Amino acid sequence: MSVPLPQGGIGIANLPNQKHKIVAKKGAHFTVMVVGESGLGKTTLINTLFSTELSAPKDYTRRHVKQLDKLTEVEILKAELEEKGFRVKLTVIDTPGFGDYVNNRDSWAPIVDFIDDQHELYMRQEQQPQRENKIDLRVHACLFFIRPTGHTLKPLDIEIMKRLGTRVNLIPVIAKADTLTQGDLLKFKTRIREVIRVQGIRIYQPPIEPDDEAAAEHARALADAMPFSIIGSTEDVETPDHRVVKGRKYLWGVAEVENEAHCDFRKLRALLIRTHMLDLISTTEELHYENYRQQQMETRKPGDSKPKRVDNPKFKEEEEALRKRFTEQVKAEEARFRQWEQHLIAERDRLNKDLETAHSAIKQLEAELDGLQAGYGRGSQRR
Ligand SMILES: Nc1nc2c(ncn2[C@@H]2O[C@H](COP(=O)(O)OP(=O)(O)OP(=O)(O)O)[C@@H](O)[C@H]2O)c(=O)[nH]1
Ligand SMILES: [Mg+2]
């Protein structure tokens, strides 16, 4: 079920360096994961990717994977892409959304564990004598969905993004971009970028090629657009000017998936499956997997078979403390917010009262005026 890639392809034809040429020879495994709160359109985006580019739904396989002792049930979709004889085995991992509250912490922790587990699994296979045909589900790109509040990142987002960013190529996306106006979307983006910077969250940076001006330009444009705004839809709808496009139809018009004036879907797709697939793969190998391996080497005693997060009580303690501190922070923030809300309500009530007083004063004046006019009318009649 190979699907030729139209327009531009994966860009294998002019690979920048020798290493990429080696990857190209072997063919690549590329794994993308979507993560985020429930109902933000993760599954829809995957289906949109497949329906706009990759293949008809019948061409890919879906597999439910229930992880033992884990709360996460991930869905794994596979498809194969081909360009000029270069094959990519694409795997997309759809995770169920976690809740939007601290108490739901346990429902997203398995997602972080899942990423570690894949590194662990790969590392163990590397240590085996027979190293052919390794199972490799190491995640090369993790799309993190942000709720389109128009406000800012939530403490929970920050916490999760921090953890993901040190493990995987993290690509933040703003979900359901059609629910914000372009102006609000831009402000939202700027604010999120600021929070990412201030909080030291690591996100994927498209590398700037020093000796390829066009590629550098493209990379800069991608970096500037982050976090990518997304509209997901597999529906064909007709625009007011009679084009049929993938989009979402509203009374005011159509939000178009592939229109760059509406959202960054095209940029995200280009980054993933055209221009930066190989970079995502090699940074995963060289940076994230290598980090994991090193960390495990340092902390694991010889003969230990399990990764440290299961074994090491000190690590658990630290994590527990961190979680507690985080929960406290969120609670404090919420208390502050509630106080502020109370204050607003009181202020509103006060203003309403003022308004009422003003209203009755006006009413009274009107009544007096009526009285005067009536009196004047009678007076003039008498004359
Ligand atoms: N307005 C708008 N709605 C969207 C968009 N993408 C998805 N939706 C809608 O949002 C709802 C949830 O979409 P899903 O794709 O199931 O969300 P999910 O993130 O996979 O949800 P979970 O699997 O529960 O975590 C559906 O009704 C979608 O039609 C979008 O870009 N804009
Ligand atoms: Mg889903």
pLDDT at 227 over 70: yes
DSSP secondary-structure letter at 273?
I
The residues, any chain, with a CB within 8 Å of residue 57's CB and separated by 6 or more, are 47, 50, 51
Q: Which residue has the higher pLDDT, 176 or 311?
A: 176
**Ligand 1 neighbour 104 (Cβ under 6 A):** no
Report the nearest-CA residue for atom 2 of ligand 1. 176
pLDDT tier for residue 197 given thresholds of 50, 70 and 90: very high
> Distance between CA 288 and CA 123 in Å, rounded?
12
For ligand 1, the distance from its centroid to the CA atom of residue 333, given in whole angstroms, is: 28
Partner residues linked to 86 by β-bridges? 83
Percent of the chain with pLDDT over 90: 39
pLDDT tier for residue 61 given thresholds of 50, 70 and 90: low
Give the per-residue pLDDT at 59.
Answer: 45
Q: Which residue has the higher pLDDT, 158 or 108?
A: 158
Give the per-residue pLDDT at 204.
Answer: 96
β-pair type (244-250, 236-238): antiparallel
Give the per-residue pLDDT at 329.
Answer: 73
Specify the CATH number for 2-308; select among 3.40.50.720, 3.30.230.70, 3.30.70.141, 3.40.50.300.
3.40.50.300
Q: What average pLDDT does this structure show over 209-228? A: 89
**Ligand 1 neighbour 274 (Cβ under 6 A):** no
Q: Could you tell which of 44, 245, 263 is best to mutate to test the pocket of ligand 1, judged by most ligand atoms within 8 Å of the CB?
A: 44
Whole-number average pLDDT of the chain? 81
Give the per-residue pLDDT at 230.
Answer: 97
For ligand 2, the distance from its centroid to the CA atom of residue 209, given in whole angstroms, is: 36
**Ligand 1 neighbour 42 (Cβ under 6 A):** yes
Which ligand 1 atom sits closest to the C-alpha of 230?
A: 31
CA distances from 139 to 93, 111, 122, 142 (A): 9, 11, 11, 7
